[in-house]
């Protein structure tokens, strides 16, 4: 193992803005509105005055998005963050469920918007945001410097680790043993990027879905799979003959992506995320899909 593992801990950079959504601006607006109505004693009837006092800047913003669609691009092949489950109904009424789907559902609800989930290839998510076809990318997406060139990310909502899956009898015991081996990954993911950097393009086999890479491992077509820890646990538990190595490969942070420069939506998302963290809803969503060990 020659190269150092990439470590993308952006927690410090991403948490700073969480508490910044106080009420001072809206209080001022409400006070101003109250003053105005006091002065104009004749004109305004009671209803108008009450409305003016209650309508804060934040509410006005929310009303602007009220009833609009919030289009989420994802790749629903990534349990427990997003996957199809025909026995459940997801937040947009489809069978796409999981942590990201529910977080996005909760954010949309706070913004008074209707969530619509689009299930596409993982490496199409950023282009969809850039072209404006989707508003948010929520896909267990890792914040990386390269991606930050093309999209903006919200505050982070989860940490993850890239892990290595091998077959039970494998001699591979850690990243050092991966040199000259064939590594299966999901195309365009950080697992793909890190493995290609560290072990060479020619040693990496890319599959459209993580589960396809896992099937390739079971069939002996690849020697190991590098993928995020939570889906890895699901895939190992669903397939006999596989094991997870306990040596972590790289640590990372998940966040929601938006089109570069869409600060209005980004601020709304960060505000909603902060509320979901504060109220414990985020933890509840995670606990619904990941049982504590």
Helix axes 229-238, 210-218, angle to 10 degrees: 50
Given candidates 78, 194, 199, 289, which one binds ligand ARG under the rule CB under 6 A? Answer: 78
Note whether 189 binds ligand ARG by CB under 6 A: yes
Q: Which two tokens stand for residue 266?
A: 């980004």
Residue keyed to tokens 């989420």: 72
* Contacting residues for 288 by C-beta, under 8 A, at least 6 apart: 102
Site size toward ligand ARG, by CB under 6 A: 15
Residue 76: CB minimum distance to ligand ARG, A: 7
Closest separation between CB of residue 11 and ligand ARG, Å?
Answer: 15
253 is a contact residue toward ligand ARG (CB under 6 A): no
Of 6-14, 184-192, 196-204, 259-267, the window that binds ligand ARG (rule: CB under 6 A) is 184-192
Would you state the structure tokens that stand for residue 229, as one six-digit string? 């820890």
| Smaller CB separation from ligand ARG, 103 or 141 | 141
Closer residue to ligand ARG (CB): 49 or 222: 222
Closest distance between ligand ARG and the C-beta of residue 49, in Å? 50
In the chain, the N- to C-terminal Cα span, in Å, equals 31
Q: Which is nearer to ligand ARG, 49 or 282 (CB)?
A: 282
For 159-172, b where at least 16 C-beta lie within 10 A, e where not — what string? ebebbbbbbeebeb
Report the alpha-carbon angle 228-139-133, nearest 5: 150
| DSSP letter string, 90-153 | -TTSSSEESHHHHHHHHHHHHTT-EEEEEE--GGGHHHHHHTTS-SEE-SSPBP-HHHHHHEEE
Which x/- pattern, by CB under 6 A, does the window 16-45 give for ligand ARG? ------------------------------
Nearest CA-CA partner of 264 in 61, 57, 82, 114: 61
Q: Evaluate whether 138 touches 100 at the Cβ level (below 8 Å).
A: yes
Nearer to ligand ARG, 74 or 156 (CB): 74
Site string for ligand ARG, 213-252 (x = CB under 6 A): ---------------x------------------------
Nearer to ligand ARG, 178 or 226 (CB): 226
Give me the 190-209 binding string for ligand ARG, x by CB under 6 A, dash otherwise: x-------------------
228 and 191 in contact (C-beta within 8 Å)?
yes
Which parts of 98-157 interact with ligand ARG (CB under 6 A)? 122, 139-142
Residues making contact with ligand ARG (CB under 6 A) = 74-75, 77-78, 82, 122, 139-142, 160, 186, 189-190, 228
């Amino acid at each position: 193992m020659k190269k150092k593992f990439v470590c993308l801990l952006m927690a410090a950079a991403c948490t700073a803005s969480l508490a910044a959504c106080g009420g001072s601006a809206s209080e001022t607006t409400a006070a101003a509105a109250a003053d105005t109505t006091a002065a104009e004693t004749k004109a305004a009837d009671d209803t108008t005055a009450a409305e003016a006092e209650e309508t804060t800047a934040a509410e006005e913003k929310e009303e602007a998005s009220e009833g609009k669609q919030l289009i989420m691009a994802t790749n629903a092949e990534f349990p427990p963050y997003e996957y199809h489950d025909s026995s459940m109904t997801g937040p947009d009424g489809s069978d796409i469920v999981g942590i990201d789907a529910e977080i996005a559902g909760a954010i949309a609800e706070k913004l008074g918007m209707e969530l619509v989930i689009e299930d596409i290839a993982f490496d199409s998510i950023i282009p969809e945001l850039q072209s404006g076809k989707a508003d948010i990318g929520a896909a267990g997406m890792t914040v990386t410097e390269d991606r930050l060139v093309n999209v903006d990310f919200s505050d982070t909502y989860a940490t993850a680790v890239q892990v290595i899956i091998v077959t039970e009898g494998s001699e591979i015991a850690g990243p050092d043993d991966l040199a000259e081996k064939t590594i299966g990954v999901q195309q365009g993911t950080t697992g793909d990027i890190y493995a290609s950097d560290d072990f060479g393009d020619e040693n990496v086999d890319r599959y459209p879905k993580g589960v396809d890479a896992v099937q390739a491992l079971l069939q002996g077509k690849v020697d190991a799979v590098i993928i995020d820890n939570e889906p890895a646990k699901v895939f190992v538990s669903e397939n006999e003959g596989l094991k997870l190595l306990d040596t972590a490969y790289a640590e990372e942070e998940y966040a929601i992506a938006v089109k570069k420069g869409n600060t209005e939506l980004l601020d709304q998302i960060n505000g909603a995320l902060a509320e979901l963290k504060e109220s414990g809803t985020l933890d509840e969503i995670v606990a619904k899909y990941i049982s504590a060990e």
